Amino acid sequence: MSLFRKKDLNAMLAQAEDGGKGLKRTLGAGNLIALGVGAIIGAGLFVRTAAAAGQAAGPAVTLSFIVAAVGCAFAGLCYAEFAAMIPISGSAYAYSYVTMGETVAWIIGWALIMEYALGAATVSIAWSEYLNKLLGGGIPYEWSHSPFESITDTAGVLHHGIMNAPALIILLLLTLLLIKGTQESAIVNAVIVFIKVAIVIIFIIIGWQFMRPENHTPYLIPANQPPLMDSAGKVVADYSGVFKHGWGGVLGGAAIVFFAFIGFDAVSTAAQEAKNPKRDMPIGILGSLVVCTILYILFGHVLTGVAPWTDFVDPLKGREASVAYAISTYMTGYGWLATAVTVAILAGFSSVILVMLMGQSRVFYSMSNDGLLPKAFSDLHPKFRTPYKSNWILFVFVGAFAAFVPGSVAGDLTSFGTLFAFVLVSAGVWILRVKSPNMERPFKTPLVPLVPILGAIICLAMIFALDAQTLKVAFGWMALGLVVYFVYSRKHSKLNQE
């Protein structure tokens, strides 16, 4: 049979409306925007901003956000068209199944594991870092870091990580909340979003008066920038690579902070739970993207103006819990704000993890309904009508990564999965416009094929700007996915049975 056999759109929509036996439609436009903002404003803002500034872009991390946002805007418009037209769970996986066939759909579904599952793992690791900061470093290094991480303290003592216990605990609590219900999860998320957006705005307003012009000069990292070392004399940042300084560094920084924008496409995974998806999905996707992009640019500008970007490469200075570090070190008299920011960030990270876990479980739900994954992934709880078995399986997988893999590794792999999904969604809009021009489209992407082509090109450029090790691991993961597909999924596919 063909490698590119496609699922019929009408059959897919009929499956979504299965007589009340499926997922509950409980989310409105406001819930969807809150879901998007909940996923976007989190690790990307509070952790990856400092990482991008310290590793590649310097103060020009604001330009990196603009580059990433432009790529997201093109992809977001394509997502909005698909989500309104095909309002079912599965996001890019479901869209690819209709437009490019089963093999491509499987590949993107497998890549989405890197986006959502590893995204949740990365943010839970950041949650652990901020909890430790709030507790004044009270959690031993060994029990808050992976076995692959080590640090030499000021007394010269070497500490090796054992496992990240706090990250595992927050994943367990949010898994239990998701099993309880989507509406309950959305209410908790909305409260958290209000708190963290308020704190971000307060930091921008107060931090503006503490900015120092010399911290923004030079704005781009110069080509002759020497390597930076930590307090123990170990090199922690090298700027000799083409994507580590100048305008190349801006693109490299964009690839790092792109992780910050994955929230808007997580909205599309909830399409089957939206009350009026044809109207509400474009509002949720594009609305959350616009709000967060504005906040990101302002936040990055203030953060690098308050603290020198070079502080963000040293683990004993501002690499971990960078915002709280900048406030406590450079904003005299605002210690209360550092504590408030840390509490708000912990709550904010919780909402990001919540949305990522929900998004991944919904992708698994759709893939299982199509026969590409075992039936357990689509089994719904008899009372709550949530994919509870998928949630538990996901907890084991994400928990293992969060407990034993460094956050930097998982974060870069998340960026790859996100960018890859965006490329295929952009291509899919154009393909479906050519093959099915008369299909009903409640929301239409403007300037097709220009917008899809630009979206795909920008996202591909940011994929190649990722470091070589990340790309090797990502392609290895995709190769493993193809093995799983041809050994199990292809034979069990419902299209194969038909």
Nearest alpha-carbon partner for 418 in 108, 104, 63, 36: 108
> Which stretches of 229-334 are DSSP H helices?
246-257, 263-268, 277-306, 322-330
Dihedral sign from CA coordinates of 317, 319, 320, 326: positive
CA 172 to mean position of chain CA atoms? 19
CA atoms within 13 A on the CB side of 349: 27
Please report the pLDDT score of residue 313 as a whole number: 81
Q: Residue 229 — φ and ψ, nearest 5°?
A: -120, 155
Residue whose structure tokens are 């309950």: 184
Instruction: State which amino acid sits at residue 428.
Output: G
Please report the pLDDT score of residue 419 as a whole number: 83
Please report the pLDDT score of residue 167 as a whole number: 92
CATH fold label, 44-488: Amino acid/polyamine transporter I (1.20.1740)
Three-state DSSP at 229 gives: strand
Please report the pLDDT score of residue 418 as a whole number: 80
Q: Which two tokens stand for residue 58?
A: 């310097």
Instruction: State which amino acid sits at residue 226.
Output: P
Max Cα distance, the chain (Å): 70
Please report the pLDDT score of residue 288 as a whole number: 87
The CA distances from residue 260 to 41, 147, 203, 330, 423, in Å, are 7, 26, 18, 25, 17
Q: Which two tokens stand for residue 386?
A: 């949530």
Alpha carbon distance 211, 161 (integer Å): 36
DSSP state of 159: E
Please report the pLDDT score of residue 259 as a whole number: 66
pLDDT tens for the 498 residues of the chain, in order: 566 788 777 777 676 665 445 566 677 778 888 878 877 776 567 777 888 888 888 899 999 999 888 878 888 889 888 888 877 777 788 888 888 888 888 998 898 888 788 888 888 888 888 788 778 777 888 888 888 777 777 677 777 778 889 999 999 999 998 888 767 777 887 888 888 888 889 999 999 999 999 999 999 988 888 888 766 677 777 888 887 888 898 988 887 887 677 667 778 777 777 788 788 888 888 888 888 889 999 999 999 999 998 888 866 555 556 787 888 889 988 888 888 887 877 887 888 888 889 888 888 988 898 889 999 888 888 887 788 899 999 999 899 988 888 766 666 677 788 888 888 889 889 988 988 888 888 889 999 899 999 989 888 887 887 778 888 888 899 999 999 999 998 988 888 776
Question: Quick check: bond before 374 cis, omega within 30?
Answer: no
Burial annotation 467-494 (CB, 10 A radius, 16+ → b, else e)? beebbeebeebbeebeeebeeebbeebe
Nearest alpha-carbon partner for 40 in 291, 398, 282: 291
Three-state DSSP at 152 gives: strand
Alpha carbon distance 423, 92 (integer Å): 10
What is the per-residue pLDDT across 465-493, written as a single tens digit (0 to 9) for each? Answer: 777 888 888 889 999 999 999 999 898 88
Please report the pLDDT score of residue 496 as a whole number: 78
Please report the pLDDT score of residue 214 as a whole number: 94
Please report the pLDDT score of residue 479 as a whole number: 93
The CA distances from residue 214 to 217, 305, 309, 322, in Å, are 5, 8, 11, 19
DSSP state of 471: H
What is the per-residue pLDDT across 42-71, written as a single tens digit (0 to 9) for each? Answer: 656 777 788 888 888 889 999 999 988 887
SS3 string of 42-82?
A: CHHHHHHHHHHHHHHHHHHHHHHHHHHHHHHHHHHHHHHHH
Nearest alpha-carbon partner for 92 in 425, 452, 453: 425
The rounded radius of gyration (Å) of the Cα atoms in the chain is 22
Please report the pLDDT score of residue 358 as a whole number: 86
Please report the pLDDT score of residue 19 as a whole number: 46
Three-state DSSP at 438 gives: coil
How is the chain split into domains, by residue range?
Answer: 44-488
Residue whose structure tokens are 């219900």: 181
Three-state DSSP at 228 gives: strand
Three-state DSSP at 237 gives: strand
CB 120 within 8 A of CB 353: yes
